[in-house]
Structure 1
Amino acid sequence: MFDHDSKIKSLLDELDAFIADEIRPLESGDNARFFDQRREYSRTDWENDGLPADDWTNLLTEARERAVKAGLYYFALPVEFGGRDGTNFEMAVIREYLAKKGLGLHCDLHSEHCIVGNNPMALVIRDFGSEQQKNEFLRKIVSGEYGISFGLTEPLHGSDATWMETKAVPEVRGGVRGWRIDGEKMWTTGAYHASHVAVFARTSGADGDALGISCFLVPSGTEGLRVEERIWTFNMPADEPRISLIGLWVPDTARLGDEGRGLACAQHFVHENRIRQAASSIGTAGYCIAESVSYANTRVVFGRPLSRNQAIQFPLSELHTDYTLLKNMVFSVSKQIDEMSKKEVSDKISDVISMCNYRANKLACDAADRAIQVHGAIGYSRQKQFEHHYRHHRRYRITEGSDEIQLRKIAGHLFKFIK
């Protein structure tokens, strides 16, 4: 069991105080509609392709600005860019802690919103960007001027990213060396309001090769980039459009990292994101388990508390066991990430990160489903949060690598397919 040191305890106390003073009041009054049974209806602009409603977006912006002012939002970024050099371990603890509080403006996972921002692309730019890119992007990300969507998946290629059909070829325009990009991207989350899309395209090599894919930071207003379709999802509002790239041109300065080694940027993104996603899923599972135990202790059926029945006790005990084991594993692995280089993480514990992500995301879904069952009809209703948590975390079992991709990674290390 992890016994958090005084620094972590002080940080969690700081978060609690900020939530009590700044966030809870912001959730009250008319804004309560975004968190009660009206939440999906209130958050979604149904007549505008199902995008997030302006009122909801403005509320998230207000919460984020308050968190920035309090010195919390950019916690994980370097000090020189307004952060606190937050570690992966600290971020895992924070994400689990906030998710365990349940639905609220402090941490709305469906919107990828949290008072302590994730910002994985900022860390990718920190580690792979040129000095010019670091100075431009990191400062403007911190100021709120820039936001970056992630364009890896394609309509015909999801987990098989090395088979992507988007191509980039060298082309000089106006005497400037650059790249012409043609292709399509799918599930480019947040593209409707992002300043840039991180577009991955093959620049050399053959289909299936890991090398030969490059990453480009493409401004959203670039000619040739167009939103083709906005796809409604299991949990609304939705902001995961399909975009086309037709004759799009960017200068070579838009390339992030070494030519042909763009998947290293993507791997950095998913390693950081997968362990934090796992921590959030564990926190949600903890919330669902705690709410179920509390309800079972107070709900009286056939003259005695519901919790007296082993049919209630045993499933929740199993979930609680998994929650405890996984929580400690995620915290342990996040500490390992902090102690290794990026290459060591990829070579030595990529499979363990997949274990955390796979089991934690499944646990969140199982715990939400069990909470619905324990609560009965009221659990199935929108008066409780469980249906929202289930729908959100069901997405996590596909994004950042599906269950099957996580198992494939684990098997690759187990059977030595991956050296």
Structure 2
Amino acid sequence: MDFALPADLVAYLAELDAFIEREIKPLEAADDNIRFLDHRREWARTDWDAGGLPRAEWEALLGEVRRRADAAGHLRFPLPAEFGGRDGSNLWMAVIREHFAAKGLGLHNDLQNEHSIVANFPQVLMFRDFGTPAQQREFIGGMLDGTRRLPFGLTEPEHGSDATFMETRGVRDGDGWRIDGEKMWTTGMHVATHVMLFARTSGEDGDARGITCFLVPADAPGVKVEEYLWTFNMPTDHPRVSFNGVRVDDGAIFGREGEGLAVAQHFVHENRIRQAASSLGAADYCVRESVAYAKTRKPFGKPLAANQAIQFPLVELATQIEMLRLLIRKTAWEMDAMTKPEVATRLSDKVSMCNYWANRLVCEAADTAMQVHGGIGYSRHKPFEHIYRHHRRYRITEGSEEIQQRKVAAWLFGFAGPGREGG
């Protein structure tokens, strides 16, 4: 068995590092852009007078970063070559995301906005696999050039993980559909052109079939942003949106009628393994920064690092990081050897293991880093509070850790998966 990273992947990491030093670091230093990353970051990013939305200057800066990354050939890296990408694999993306997060805060990678110089673009692949030719023509190029933006309308005020019980309804109305309901956490609605809106069109509550995905124009009559939900980590672009008497035609159906959950779950495993890798990298950053600080800080005349009360928590974190890194890379490597349906039926439990444990680990690492650094660690002059507040959300989103533990348990005890009893 060879655990060494491929030589061409190592070379690509060096290429990305050189791009960051050449293009991104100077941009951070220009025009006081560092205000978006230093102790002023939450204030600088948030337009408090506009309901807590991201400031236009912040989003424009992220847009400039993406433009530069795209011009350099990095932004679309994981996409197929037909869309201008490099066919980046799950293993490569996991290693890249860990590498970026391990650098700490920077314009190269700011996951509070799901922003990175090597982007994800899951919806492009959704349109490739589920879109009609007309939808592909409109949306794939539009998403790549920024003229089409589509938030995800799945979660509801009374329903999150239990998506099959959603109350939003789509009913036949003449030669089209009428949609009524309400969605939560419709992230990005303030800049949306359309919404990927999920509604029950047939069947009963709890049925996996009977839910349809519609592409609804964001400015359609009956679409209303009710409020933007302020969160643990501001700014917010996460609104509650109502849909009252919204009318669309059959051309708005995305994927097959009644099979919308297949659309919703299309990219879940790729998202989870990449998210896990980011959390792993951020945890590694917290530990390394804490070790460096403990070696230089000398209360009572000796380094903090001489105290086992400081050493042992960091030792445990470092050990978990090493073990989790192997599991994430092994799982990503196995994903690359399977089709997407095979991943769902043969490897889903391992992806969930990686995701929920990494997201929990980074929160523990950030909390420990704050403790090791003392008062300055609690302040916003260090990045640990920001890392904690951002990554804490990952223990809820993309499938809560309880949902993912339930997945692992179902496979472990034979209720689902390859070892299903009676299957």
TM-score range, shorter chain: over 0.9
Alignment deviations for residues 157-194 of structure 1 (CA, whole Å, 9 cap, x no partner): 0111110011112233xxxx432211111001111112
Write the letter of the residue equivalent to 2:112.
Answer: H
In the other structure, the counterpart of 1:259 is 257
In the other structure, the counterpart of 2:199 is 201
The secondary structure found in structure 1 opposite 2:77 is: coil
Write the letter of the residue equivalent to 1:8.
Answer: L
Moved more, 327-336 or 63-72: 327-336
Moved more, 105-114 or 258-267: 258-267
In the other structure, the counterpart of 1:23 is 24
In the other structure, the counterpart of 1:244 is 242
Write the letter of the residue equivalent to 2:164.
Answer: T
Residue pairs, 1:136-147, within 5 angstroms: 136-147=138-149
The secondary structure found in structure 2 opposite 1:200 is: strand
Alignment deviations for residues 358-405 of structure 1 (CA, whole Å, 9 cap, x no partner): 000001100000000111111011110000000000100011111111
Write the letter of the residue equivalent to 2:237.
Answer: D
In the other structure, the counterpart of 2:104 is 102
Task: Report deviation, 1:415.
Answer: 2.2
Alignment deviations for residues 199-254 of structure 1 (CA, whole Å, 9 cap, x no partner): 11111111011111111222212222111111100000000000011111222222
Write the letter of the residue equivalent to 1:277.
Answer: Q
In the other structure, the counterpart of 1:280 is 278
Which of 131, 134, 144 pairs up with 1:132? 134
Residue pairs, 1:309-348, within 5 angstroms: 309-348=307-346
In the other structure, the counterpart of 2:9 is 8
Consecutive unaligned residues of structure 1, counting only runs of 5 or more, are none
Partners of 1:146 and 1:195 within 8 A in 2: yes
Task: Report deviation, 1:294.
Answer: 0.8
Partners of 1:167 and 1:201 within 8 A in 2: yes
In the other structure, the counterpart of 2:211 is 213
Alpha-carbon distance between aligned partners in 2 of 1:260 and 1:412, rounded to the nearest angstrom: 26
Task: Report deviation, 1:104.
Answer: 0.6
Task: Report deviation, 1:132.
Answer: 2.5
Task: Report deviation, 1:341.
Answer: 1.9
TM-score, length-scaled by structure 1: 0.96
Alpha-carbon distance between aligned partners in 1 of 2:99 and 2:277, rounded to the nearest angstrom: 9
Alpha-carbon distance between aligned partners in 2 of 1:6 and 1:388, rounded to the nearest angstrom: 34
In the other structure, the counterpart of 1:180 is 178
Q: Are 2:160 and 1:158 equivalent residues in the alignment? A: yes
The secondary structure found in structure 2 opposite 1:279 is: helix
Alignment deviations for residues 91-142 of structure 1 (CA, whole Å, 9 cap, x no partner): 1111111011000100011111111112222222222222332232111111
Which of 388, 394, 397 pairs up with 1:396? 394
Partners of 1:198 and 1:217 within 8 A in 2: yes
Partners of 1:326 and 1:356 within 8 A in 2: yes
In the other structure, the counterpart of 1:376 is 374
Which of 93, 118, 121 pairs up with 1:119? 121
Moved more, 270-279 or 386-395: 270-279
Q: Please list every run of at least 4 consecutive aligned residues from structure 1 whose deviation after the TM superposition is greater than 6 angstroms.
A: none
Alpha-carbon distance between aligned partners in 1 of 2:120 and 2:381, rounded to the nearest angstrom: 29
Partners of 1:82 and 1:142 within 8 A in 2: no
In the other structure, the counterpart of 1:73 is 75
Write the letter of the residue equivalent to 2:370.
Answer: I
Alpha-carbon distance between aligned partners in 1 of 2:200 and 2:25, rounded to the nearest angstrom: 47
Alpha-carbon distance between aligned partners in 2 of 1:341 and 1:215, rounded to the nearest angstrom: 23
Alpha-carbon distance between aligned partners in 2 of 1:150 and 1:337, rounded to the nearest angstrom: 25
Write the letter of the residue equivalent to 1:5.
Answer: P
TM-score, length-scaled by structure 2: 0.95
In the other structure, the counterpart of 2:354 is 356
Alpha-carbon distance between aligned partners in 1 of 2:75 and 2:354, rounded to the nearest angstrom: 25
The secondary structure found in structure 2 opposite 1:199 is: strand
Residue pairs, 1:76-87, within 5 angstroms: 76-87=78-89
Partners of 1:44 and 1:237 within 8 A in 2: yes
Alpha-carbon distance between aligned partners in 2 of 1:254 and 1:342, rounded to the nearest angstrom: 25
Identity over aligned pairs, percent: 60
Q: Are 2:301 and 1:303 equivalent residues in the alignment? A: yes
Moved more, 214-223 or 94-103: 214-223
In the other structure, the counterpart of 1:61 is 63
The secondary structure found in structure 2 opposite 1:215 is: strand
Write the letter of the residue equivalent to 1:7.
Answer: D
Partners of 1:274 and 1:354 within 8 A in 2: yes
Task: Report deviation, 1:302.
Answer: 2.3
Task: Report deviation, 1:269.
Answer: 2.8
Aligned length, in residue pairs: 415
Task: Report deviation, 1:303.
Answer: 2.1
Partners of 1:78 and 1:84 within 8 A in 2: yes
The secondary structure found in structure 2 opposite 1:268 is: coil
Q: Are 2:42 and 1:40 equivalent residues in the alignment? A: yes
